[in-house]
Structure 1
């Protein structure tokens, strides 16, 4: 992805480090792995990563990776962002998840909102914006044409440090008509998050709290008559016109699938790291007693897991390249068929990552390695939790097959 290094700032702040490169930001994430690994337990107990971790992410520029340079961001490609996500998830799955689903929506926001809205939204510099796709709550017109929002939205990963929230609601229609979906973005001063996360099976530290809006006000240009997954980029998007960067003209549906795939690979890679440590430090259970690294069975199990993960990562990077290429070709390239094809790649990435852990790493690591709080036990819980995510269990595993086939054969 070409980075627009000369984009005007329009009076807004320049990036804190104008010469920062993608390689440098990825290296910063890699250097944080030991710290994230050491703090996994406290992150789960807190239900989100610590303030000083958040501050370190901000200093490293993570929250500006996808923000347009026009607004003081780095406008790096999604390949850079997804590599950072994989790296952070490798150190701490909850931290990687919370960071990803908070910072990733800079692309969607910069793609679909008009200039007036973006000028206001991105004025904060760092951008953290959890999103949910399930409509909830209500939206009523205010006297000045804006909207008054009320309701509770669940599973808002990234809420504790968020600057905004991107949600959906249903707008009442005329009598006898179905309500229509609406997408809105609301700044931090118009909502609060609940202390209702941490009792789930996994991803206990992902900051996926519910967000409550009580008579929150947003101007009319913060609300769009669409749903994120249904937004069409067949025409030139506001983002392409505004930023002159094809990255802000891509399909949001397929983009959302890339997030889950990157997280799955990173989490499973952390499991393989832990398994390798056990192979170096432990012996076989039955004679002949050998270091696990020398045992033919462990060699096979490690190879099976490693092979799946290297394949998963290659497929993910290929899907990212496909998405980027479609952006370069122009919005019309994002047909339903192409978007669902990318979704099916992401599904296989998630499956391979899960198989590596569930089939090989977890059952052969040994019972002491899967006690509560052990790294492999946590990774198994977190990946198990991922399998219940509607984006995976329903969209990837069911809708993607059906909708891809329907698009391929021209069926409505």
Structure 2
């Protein structure tokens, strides 16, 4: 286990963003290989590791940078601008450092962050036949979890499941377990959907794995926080005092934003190098193409602004909660979740507009624009994660508070 340090390496977010920007040509070059591989290639992983991009949200006392959430999103945007699949894999595999640092005690954090330098752990809530049998000192856990984005190269797996209901209880308590590499098996079951084929969202199997008590926590996604968390006290940082429900979608909003800028890069190259059909004039001089490009820029810029403001609001809510000024309520969480989904929708609109006006010649097999369209469609069509299905939660939370209605 790595030694615990009192401070992490001195670096600025500007330096990390610049490093991610420098990797853009490599990320784009490796897009076909990443898609064929079903997750980022070893070359990509090594490049991200050498750039130090895995440590943004990890606490300083464990060798991380302990930067703010908006700093993390800025880097995710740049990674996704180079390769959206890699951005998805990175955001959902690396971002959960914030939850480990928020909800687990010092012993668990030292073990988790000390296992190896690059912490990565998908957190899946989609399980088939999960079982957590209580034994002395912990649980024996079995089951299969799906959509474990980030599991290739992961140091840990985080799986959520329901425990048996207590007598007279209306709901079953939820348990999340953290299992280090070697204790879980990654299935070869990703890549048959239309997009995000290289996001590394494979399934995971646990087969009668012992998980000690300190590597678990009771997760209640329907409850708010009304004071400091274990992590906010340990690290003295409100970053580690927020609700996961207010955090979860932000990484994908950042990925979608980067994807929109990636599509803009392709479109800019297209209109700056190809003539308007039937003329000898570059498309860049044509008001129709200028209009599409300008509208898409505004959409992408708006998605970026929403995503970064969501991160700032998360920290503001967490800071007030830790200080005892106001609880971090589920209403605040679902409204932040809604903001992130709107950022994804704006990114989708930008990509759709660019693809629709690029001409069919730009949509050949292997071209980037059609890949980006497939990827953004996957982002906005994720079953229960579609905003249309989640928007009612905002209404219910607000009406319960403002009108006293019960749902």
Whether these two folds match at TM > 0.5 is yes
Farther-moved stretch of structure 1 (211-220 vs 395-404): 395-404
Deviations 1:29-57 (A, max 9, x none): 11001110111001000001111221221
- The reply on whether 1:284 has 2:279 as its aligned counterpart is no
Question: Is residue 237 of structure 1 aligned with residue 237 of structure 2?
Answer: no
User: 1:173, CA displacement in angstroms?
Assistant: 2.6
Question: Against the structure 1 CA distance between its residues 253 and 379, is the aligned structure 2 distance closer, same or farther, given a 3 Å change threshold?
Answer: same
Tell me what 1:12 maps to: 4
Offset from partner CA, 1:238-293 (integer Å, 9 cap, x none): 0111100110001211111212211111111101111111011111124x442110
Q: Distance in 1 between matches of 2:103 and 2:22?
A: 34
Q: Is the 8 A contact 2:20 2:75 kept in 1?
A: yes
User: Which of 146, 158, 162 does residue 154 from structure 2 map onto?
Assistant: 162
Q: Secondary structure at the match of 1:189?
A: coil
1:48 paired residue number:
39
Deviation, structure 1 residue 411: 3.4
1:327 aligns with 2:312: no
Match of 1:108 in 2: 99
Q: 1:410 to 1:257 in 2, by over 3 A?
A: farther
Report the secondary structure of 2:249's partner residue.
helix
Unaligned runs of 5+ in 1: 1-8
Query: Partner residue of 1:354?
Result: 348
Separation (CA, whole Å) in 2 of partners of 1:319 and 1:393: 16
What's the offset of the Cα at 1:212?
0.6
Aligned residues: 399
Correspondent of 1:182 among 175, 199, 222: 175
**1:126 pairs with 2:118:** yes
2: CA distance between counterparts of 1:290 and 1:405? 56
- 1:371, 1:408 → 2: CA distance? 52
In structure 2, the partner of 1:297 is 288
Per the alignment, in what secondary structure is the counterpart of residue 230 of structure 1? coil
In structure 2, what is the equivalent of residue 73 of structure 1?
A: 64
1:59 aligns with 50
The 2-side partners of 1:402 and 1:368 are apart by 47
Equivalent residue, structure 2, for 1:264 = 256
TM-score by length of 1: 0.91
Structure 2 distance, partners of 1:95, 1:14, is 31
Structure 2 length-normalised TM:
0.92
Conserved in 2, the CA contact under 8 Å of 1:98 and 1:208?
A: yes
Is 1:99 paired with 2:90? Answer: yes
Contact 1:347 1:396 in 2 (8 A): no
Q: Which residue number corresponds to residue 6 of structure 1?
A: none
Give how far 1:368 is off: 1.8
Q: Secondary structure at the match of 1:156?
A: coil
CA contact under 8 A between 1:344 and 1:401: conserved in structure 2? no
Which 4+ runs in 1 deviate beyond 4 A? 174-178, 393-398
CA RMSD of aligned residues (A): 2.1
Distance, in Å, in 2 between the alignment partners of 1:28 and 1:319 is 24
Unaligned runs of 5+ in 2: none
